[in-house]
Amino acid sequence: MATFEDYLKFEVTEAEEDKKQLRIIEKISLSKETEKAIKAIDKDITIIAVAQVYCPDCRATVPFLKKFSDLNSKIKIDYRSREAAKEFFPDADKRIKIPTLISYVDGKYNTFWNEFPVVVKKKMDENPENFEDIKYNFRIGKFNVEIEKELVDYLTSL
């Protein structure tokens, strides 16, 4: 199982990418409701996070996973590079979109996140002419409250 520290080293393309990720993590603070909900999870959950630190979409998503796993030892994050994740997508003809998040609970895999959270995809679908602006806003944290809720709702539903 690859750790967060391993993730920080996956295919780094420019200096300081790991430091960018760490700065983003420091800036994100979870709500009290989220902390309570995450701490209350009492079943083992593994999230396979196909993510690489050079990707700004990954840098926007991974901090939540890191914080959740720090709050509750039942939540394990297995970080994978695109290359290492091919076992989950053997028939994929094109590159795997990152981040992709796959839960593993009770012996079952479920892909529940593919590149963008549902809230962002919905906005992109509703306003395709604003795709780049929406993506930018996602990357700079404008959707963090919604992302936090989406992830918590998913994890607590397992």
Q: What is the residue extent of each domain of the chain? A: 4-157
SS3 of 34, please?
helix
Residue-wise pLDDT for 29-84, tens only, equals 999 999 999 999 999 999 999 999 999 999 999 999 999 999 999 999 999 998 88
Residue-wise pLDDT for 114-125, tens only, equals 999 999 999 999
Note the pTM of the prediction, 2 decimals.
0.91
Peptide bond into 99 cis (omega under 30): yes
* CATH architecture designation of domain 4-157: 3-Layer(aba) Sandwich (3.40)
Specify burial of residue 74 (Cβ count, 10 A radius: 0-12, 13-18, 19+). middle
Where in 26-141 does DSSP place strands (E)? 45-50, 75-80, 100-105, 108-114
- HSE (side-chain half, CA atoms, 13 Å) at 3: 2
SS3 of 80, please?
strand
